[in-house]
Amino acid sequence: MNPSLSDKTPSGKTPASGKIDFEQALIKVDLLLQQNNPQTIDAQGTALGIKLALIMGREIRDQKALGVESAPLIAKWMKEYGEAQTESAISMARNLLLKPHLLQQELELRLRR
């Protein structure tokens, strides 16, 4: 079975295990989130959703209860980014987890900037 595009790391390489390199992807998304200028507001919202999807995916992969890592992060975001942006990130993460090919497309799009 050939690895799909969603199995590639943000660098474009497929890990030997054929799994997503969550740590590398999270580093790249965190870099995007650190850019606090008006031109990245939309990218920031997308990055929050991607980050949440990656964290939830890692929870699932590691067979942890869903929410062990993601719930405290969501609580923090409610204070830091507000309810509307946090709810948007949750919705995006849900969609990305249900349709993983969209995660790969979003990562490629955001990491090119």
Residue 60 lies in a domain: yes
**Among 1-10, 27-36, 47-56, 92-101, whose mean pLDDT is lowest?**
1-10
Structure token pair of residue 44: 């920031």
Supply φ then ψ for residue 94, to 5 degrees. Answer: -60, -45
Residue 37 lies in a domain: no
pTM here is 0.67
pLDDT tens for residues 52-100? 999 998 999 999 999 999 999 999 999 998 898 899 899 989 988 888 7
Q: Is residue 75 part of a domain?
A: yes
Q: Which helix (H) or strand (E) holds 86?
A: helix 83-98
Q: Are 35 and 24 in contact (CB under 8 A)?
A: no
Kindly report the average pLDDT of the chain as a whole number: 78
Average of per-residue pLDDT across 97-108 = 78
Of 113 and 56, which is predicted with more confidence?
56
Domain range for 27 is 21-32+42-111
- What is the greatest pairwise CA distance in the chain? 44
The answer to whether position 11 is within a domain reads no
**pLDDT greater at residue 26 or residue 17:** 26
Q: Going by C-beta distance under 8 Å and a sequence separation of 6 or more, which residues neighbour residue 43?
A: 32, 35, 110, 113
Q: Which of 35, 42, 8, 39 is nearest to 22 (CA)?
A: 8
7 assigned to some structural domain: no
Domain count, the chain: 1
